[in-house]
Structure 1
């Protein structure tokens, strides 16, 4: 019933949805190789190929006529295609204009309703349809008509909710990439129900296309014909498809805007509902408000509240329902639903706060019985959200759609969950209120007691001293409860304990100061009291206590008791006990709660007191840290302000001793051999100075060193420590950051070293290393002499910081000292370099002055030679001048010799030049005679060569004639075969002519069919009215082409008859040609014999000419050799004459140069 297409479709009744006037289909038929035009072209091409293979000279006329047929067919085809293409383009243009006219209002920012309304009206106008509607899906199987354009005489359907079945498909999913076209509802394969629905809508024909939005089918674009059936043209389907596509694009912003408006309205409605829920404390009013407002908000048929019973069955307790549906809640209506699944699972999925949405109960996979129950409640789709009271599943809020399936959107589910969250809060609040009302009477009874307890608690909170808190609590609570004794018991670490505070009415023995070693509490580490469980004993003899417990209570005179735990944080601190000595007593629940509350407050008070103590300690510590940091910063600042190490040592030791409240601070410096000495000290009054004692008592240091070498393996402070010497600083040299000793007598030192430390008057100390860069420079030590001292981490950190700053100051001082030494050295070097430079300049001036005469040509001068660098340069000058003097003297001698030699050679060269000229003239005459002889020899050789060539050409001609005769014979034989084959082809050509007659008949039939199609198209165009005018034009064009095709077939028949008559004449001519070929074969054989005789004669002549040619060539080569030799001799003689003249000119120039050289060299002074 459905078929798939994007832009085209076949009708649902199986009839063709297009006709012969479809331009696209017509073009495809012409391009098909099986079309009539292609068949005619194939036959003509075959005929032309057969003609080309024949060798008959008269075939040209046939080929010309075949070419005319081929050109004529091509012209007819081209004209037909051009006319058809033009008509198709006009049709497409008209359709495009329609599309633009229909969709011109899309994207103009108007609201969705107007856009859809205008679109439907435009489509109805251009398609001349009875009804056009836009149908929006609300579920998979139904939707609503939201826009319609319909003629007045047909019933409107705007706003009606219709099933998808009305438009030809069973489900919305079946419209994916589908076009459903129904030309006649009575001829289509429709179900009776579908047919009934269409008849109710007065529909005779229908065309439906999907409208997509966000990847899903949003709705349908439907065109209906109500007056009569209608065949839907492919052009109409294409037009609607493009309109649907553009409508999809236009829907994007409008749907988004509509969703945004709906979301805003829903949020406002939700806010309104939530405010109403918050403002009411009446549960019934909240139920009524919630169901009514939710139904209005979601436009549902029913909203109901279902409450669970203890056995997980339940009943509907409130609802809001439409007037046309059965009520589930009312004055005399009670609806109980015992869902076995919910009972078995105690709420099922709803226990886990899960929302459940069903769009269609028949598609949800429910059991048959469950579906039947839902149908009894008229439910078709529903949305259930659980209701909770605290964490207990209280009930369900259900939203029901009874009229049909419904696709629940995520926004609707989210809104409902928001409302339910507030409903749960209101439910919880109202439940609490009901509980408060039920307890109000009880609370009133204990109000006085609570007030008294509050006063006690306030006193506990206001007191800062824990002892005061205990005394106050014991006194007040004893009076409040009216008991004879109230005691506070504190646990020891082993969970035995002691009474620490008590208040008794008088006359009873004291418990404070006595212990109660309960083995049960000891064994179970507090027993029940660890879990804050009270012990309530109305009568010690009837409470089921063990004999040992009864005996212990008798020892304290207790007849009845109430004991609660005192918990400090997470630790069981003790017990708060109320004792009755005079007799048994029944402890009320309020009394137990009161005493438990007091016990809890005592635990809080203990925790607060401990916390306050910790805060005080932390505050003191922080203040101390801050002060230390400030003082450390002050010390470091003083260190940075000066580079004088003595001042740094003096300042630092003093400030550190004050900062640490120590009794001695010293700085110890290592020597290169890792011995050392004290370099700075700050000591409190009343204690000896180590620096002063070292200077006054020389044996003190020796005794320390001896003891260190003998006993110590520790890194201790001493003036000369052999251990530090041997280990190069001990642990400090290996990176130890500090050494702390809180009490020298607890450190495990040997007696010898203790004696030394006692001489130092030290009882406790801290030592840190002082590093200069990466080198251990010394130690910084702080001593407590008056007694042991627990050095805090803060003290050690201060020492480490000061030690580090010491190292930085030492490094800076060292850098400055190195910089000062470098500056001094550089200044001294600069002075020395300046003096040396001035001395060097004076010597250089003297040397230059002594050699200045050399510039005037005096080579007899000498530079003074000294022992420094300038002397070396002067010696080099003297060597250079001496070498130059020798060169000049050699040049003077050479110039004189050259001048003499040039003059003596000039005469000899002139005679040589004259002799060379005479020799050149004689050789030139001899060369002319030899060239004449060579020319004669070349003429003879050329003539002989020409004769040879002529003979060879004659010989080749004869051979060529022989070969030609052979080929002629072979050709004549081939002609005989060709003529025979041509005869056969002529017969086949006759058969092809018969085929052309058949094709011409086919063209005639095609012409007749075309005229018939054109006539049908004209009739259809007339029936379509204004819409079919373009098809009428196409039909006229087709009729015209048909008439032209008929005339063309007549011409083709005449041409075929002429071809048949001429093929008969050609066959007769071929027989005559065969006889003439036989006679020509005999003449060719006689001619070939004569040519063979000529070939033998020319071969002998060719041999004689070859001998003459070889002799002439030999003579010619000899003449050319003699000519070349004489030419070379002439060139040598000529060159010799020229060279002689050049040499003479060179000697003249050399003579002039020698004279100039003698004048130049004469300017130098080379003798003293």
Structure 2
């Protein structure tokens, strides 16, 4: 952020006004937007002291490019860069259209989208200030300031300045568009006049027949011509047209005013006769080129006014040719550049003064690089011009002097101060000199500081000239403005610079000695002396005073100035007032034009908005009451009336107010006794009175409108002082009235308001007719809807049944191609509608083994409606076969023609698999039950027969066999019941946190006796793992696995049992040293009644269900179980269970 002193801040405050005034003044002088914008961004960057200022113009897709730029040399230039910010969407565009701005002090802490921050970073932006530029209501572009070096807090005054400059830029754009339209309209008018002359003879008869119509057209055309002529004559630039001989045939008022002639005096005069001899030579040199190429730009020359005064003009001309290509005439636009020429001459004079003075004068830029140095300065430096210009002050004067003394003062000057000091200098001239040194800020045309003017005066002999040197510095600093020195004691002018004399229309030196009041504009109540006295008093009281004053030129022309006046002590005159003047007449005029244009645009906008809202209401609603309420509300709010109402006639021509919009301070007509008491019998008696003839009634003041007393009394009950009434027709019949009332005071109804209300009454007529037609249609549609509702409901129920039934539904045409499938079919087969519809059923969806037989069935269904029920396989998209049981029926159209079939099928694939599993299970269980039962039957039979009565050992052996087979039978039944309970979900699973070591210990204890009997060692690996399980079920699983390991392990071998923590589960392992399991049986053994070897069930015992039970238990706990084995080395059974912490 730039820091300023109080004094600097005061000067800084003047800069926004200067840049705004400069921008405004530049509008009539140059309508080239690029020139105006380039000056504007340069001035803005110097005022704000920021790193970059750009103007960005939007394209229709909200991309765009940088059209002008002012950027510091150390930062990347982005002029003409095509930019598209993907984050610039509705969240930014709409607020910009509303005139809002964005200010970000640091893009890394502003809370903006990452994509937008990265986008800004590509242009080295750290802080930015973005102001929309609006061309009327259109978002034209953006005025953007960038701070690249570091974050920056944008001040309210800086934001306000940017907004004002953006407003001026919008005006400049509109002015440029206005000029383009003006030139286009002028060309169109000329072409129209030529065309009208050619068609005059042919149109005479038609003119007679259509006089009434053309009268209205001519009136509109005349209004258009008047508007064009008004723009033409009041343009800030001059316009004239010359014929082929160079004779003036048309000229606007602006140029007439410059020349001092009347139109009659100058029309038919040769334009070249107004030129000086030198200007004629310039004209004749350029005229042949002009006729050949058809245009000429920026031709400058002098012409004489009627009173003999010379003025400079800048001319742009266009040639007009006939159809044969012959030069017919020319049209020219001219600008009075006399003021600019005088400024240029004054500048040249000052330049001669600067370079001829014996004082040392130099100009350096903001980087301390010499730009200009006069001979006096070069002599003091003891350097040549080539050694100084382009070199730095530090190099010329030495590092120690520059760093310690000169640079701090130059920096203050660049901040806006005028620095003056006196000092003995020993170098670079090596001769001691006592110099008076002045550093003056050098400002560009926009009052932006772009360098420092250094002036040196040798006071060794001329110290007494110190005050004159200071005055010279003031004059030099402000020489681009009008400056006047006035004695404070008697108000006599002692000096006026050329710019000041030119501004007021006086010759060189003519103002010296005159009383300053001759420059002030007088009114009937205030004299010039009064104005001057007020200004002098304010300046002397404050020391410095800025003001706007109405001045008068020598020829009596009044004009406005912006002035700053301060007190200065002069060695000869004592206190003098130094007044700096700027002509702001054009800015004042443009402000008035802008205000008038804004008022016209606002009026047009209000009118269009109201019509649009009412039209939208009519389009969006067929509810007549809603449309009428919307209309009266919008009218009252837009036209700012106190009451807007709609009155409807009854069949007997009585009537009532049906809708109204009324302010809170006024009585309501609807729903009150007032409406019943205020009966206008005139309308009933005359069947609508004048309104039947499409007449309106507009009363600006009821007391001055020559109304009957009874009528005034009636209106007074409505509290109205002014009103307007417009008829509303339904075709040719008067339907009602649109009435608006002003209650607070009489009102002068404007023509545009009356025209608007007539248009609204017409729109309301359309709405009423539309509502009537809608009511008729409603009756017809209601009857049709009732008839269609029954059909739709039947169709809905049928389609809902087909779409939601969990059966396959397939419709085929007579060729066997699919024309309908329901969602369940698509879900089952994995196809989509496009993949199915139109495809042949037999070729795409049936296995080849079924195709021919099903074609026969299909033909029989079509011929005889036979084969109502059958079963066959179909193919899914993945190639899987599904077995379907079908019910079929033949389809016929309304005339009885067979059009295809509809089939409903049930997927019985899983049912068939279950039947197969059930049959297999019954067979296995029957076998497993029959074997022990046969053993029991045989043992008990032998005992019963008495064969072993005398052989107790044999008898005891038979009883043991029966006991073992009984245990086997009980175990088998228990395993079957456990497995069924687990797989049916009826087993109760209550999980708790269990220590794996405890579970393994319980399993080992339950099986230890068997292991000891088989001489097998059980080794448990210690563990601290914990699991979330049903303890008894896991102990059963471990017991089954240990039992299996014992059965298939040789004597004197070892079985290892362990549990290890993994990432999110615990891994249990039971490892034996048995015979091993073949790889193809590792998965099979977990099935029901499965053994590696069929003889194992007889030799080893077991039901063949143990591992199936283990799998079911583990999977119900969310784990997995598997086996790993190497034949001849042993097997490892593994399963996982969830960690307690994970659960």
- Normalising to structure 2: TM-score of the pair? 0.22
Bigger proportion of residues as strand: 2
- Normalising to structure 1: TM-score of the pair? 0.22
